[in-house]
Copies of this chain bind each other. A is one copy, B any other.
Amino acid sequence: MSLTNSSAVDAARDAKSASHVLATLPAAARNDALTAIYAGLEAGRDEILAANARDLEAARQQAADGQPLSQSLVSRLDLGRKGKFEDMLKGILDVRELEDPVGKVTLRTRLDEGLDLERVTCPIGVLLIIFEARPEVIANIASLAVKSGNSAILKGGKESTESFKAISKVISEALTKTQVPNGAIQLVTTRDVIPQLLDLDQYIDLVIPRGGNELVRYIKSSTKIPVLGHADGLCSMFLEQSADPKMAAEVIVDSKTNYPAACNSLETLLVQESALDTLFPAAAQALLAKGVMLRCDPKSKAALAKASFASQHGDKIVDAKDADFDTEFLALELAVKTVSGLEEAVAHVNTHGSKHTDAILTASQELAERFMNSVDAAGTYWNASTRMADGMRYGFGTEVGISTNKIHSRGPVGLEGLMIYKYKIRGRGQVAGSYGEGDGKKPFLHERLPL
């Protein structure tokens, strides 16, 4: 692991050659490296927390100097909060216990006698992961990279630089005692090398940006390297007329308020016109009680005007602008639109959504299946909160991020999303010229073999 004085090219080249070694290591060697990282972090706790305290102090100093600094940033930065260090350590062991994703045979075909084709999973190679100022993420992502046999170049948020340096020093020292090459995990501490790294498509195979919309858009437009992630999380929910009223209100409230800043939070509620006076008022009342501002189209606003509770919340029921239906609020605000039925709801989601997670609330299985098949999104749910879109909740053990891409990996991305495959052929000297139609040629067998 190179901390400083290493050019972007050197870092990427080292990561690439380490990836070739890492890809051939058995699971035991990769798991031993995780054990070593765990032990190193446990032993280095005091040193790391001291570094983290310096980051926190610097952040507080900046705030005192009048620079904007959100409380959530300080909260994410603080590795000394109760249970956080332990969770980080436990996360490494959790990753170690996951099934080995490398070397799984996913297809076997006998092309001819003594000529077998095999498709086998293997690591992608070198990942560039750019993430927020959360010190524990470096340990988490380093673990995922080692487990999946990929090298990783990591760039964390600048506010956490001291913590990153301390953690990466520990990881680097831990790796020297293992078969995993040191170059497999590279830390980048300055932002100015990112443009250089994004140019190195000969060494870097995949970029995973975690963070804001702006960062993801910048990266997508600045590199030929494939990018896995999501710029927006504009999740929608369709409240269909047959939905159970209590269930609907609960799911809508959870989707919107459980963690409003998350990408899987609800941003647009589509209400069937025939449900405006039946289901919608209770849901709206529950949202207003949680402090949610409702940005309503004329019909939904008119429906609320009739409700007894509306007068208490006048300032929280406002007219929606067109732009509200393309906005990821990430706050206690919700756009509400009236639709005639399923088709209009689906068309709205496929036009305005961000292909992240969209849900229908209905008692009709038939409508639910039509919605789930027709909406083009990584997650399509029936009677469940959009907040379920998460690698831990899906049972993947962990996630490197959530993808709204249309290729490779979609939705919460766990270890599987960090794998690709190769085809192996084992023969006895067969040549292409022997096969085909015509004199002396033979056909292929193409016999599917058990896995």
Q: Using a CB–CB distance below 8 Å, which chain A residues touch chain B?
A: 19-20, 23-24, 109, 111, 115, 117, 124-125, 205-206, 220-221, 224, 226, 228, 244, 247-248, 250-251, 253-255, 258-259, 346, 350, 361, 368, 370, 372-374, 376-385, 387-390, 393-395, 405-412, 420-433, 435, 444, 446
Contact = CB atoms under 8 A, between A and B. Distances in A.
Contacts of A385: 430-433
B407 A254 contact: no
Given A124-B406, A226-B408, A407-B420, 4 more contacts: A226-B405, A381-B425, A387-B431, A388-B425
22 contacts: A24-B374, A117-B395, A125-B376, A206-B407, A226-B226, A226-B408, A244-B429, A250-B429, A251-B430, A258-B433, A372-B422, A377-B422, A378-B423, A380-B423, A381-B425, A381-B427, A384-B430, A388-B430, A393-B432, A407-B407, A410-B420, A410-B421
Contact of A247 (B368, B410, B428): B428
B205 A384 contact: no
A407 B124 contact: yes
Count identical subunits in the complex: 2
A360 B388 CA distance: 48
Contact of A428 (B370, B376, B383, B422): B383
Contacts of A435: 393
A420 B394 contact: no
B205 A407 contact: yes
B206 A406 contact: yes
Nearest to A115: B384
Contacts of A406: 124-125, 205-206, 226, 420
A13 to B, nearest CB: 10
A179 to B, nearest CB: 15
7 residue pairs, one from A and one from B, having the closest CB atoms: A384-B427, A247-B429, A254-B431, A387-B432, A395-B446, A408-B408, A205-B406
A393 B444 contact: yes
Nearest to A118: B372
Contacts of A254: 431-433
B226 A224 contact: no
Contacts of A111: 388, 393-395
Contact of A383 (B259, B407, B426): B426
Contacts of A206: 406-407
A251 B427 CA distance: 11
A370 B431 CA distance: 22
Nearest to A246: B429
B109 A427 contact: no
Contacts of A444: 393, 395
A361 to B, nearest CB: 8
Nearest to A347: B20
A254 B428 CA distance: 14
Nearest to A83: B437
Contacts of A259: 432
A437 to B, nearest CB: 10
Most chain B beta-carbon contacts within 10 A, residue among A19, A224, A384: A384
A97 to B, nearest CB: 13
Contacts of A387: 431-433
A23 B24 CA distance: 39
B383 A427 contact: yes
A374 B220 CA distance: 31
A377 B23 CA distance: 12
Contacts of A389: 423
A28 to B, nearest CB: 15
A446 B269 CA distance: 29
A372 B118 CA distance: 11
Nearest to A446: B395
Contacts of A376: 19-20, 23, 125
B372 A424 contact: yes
A279 B110 CA distance: 29
Given A393-B444, A431-B258, A444-B393, A423 B379 contact: yes
B383 A429 contact: yes
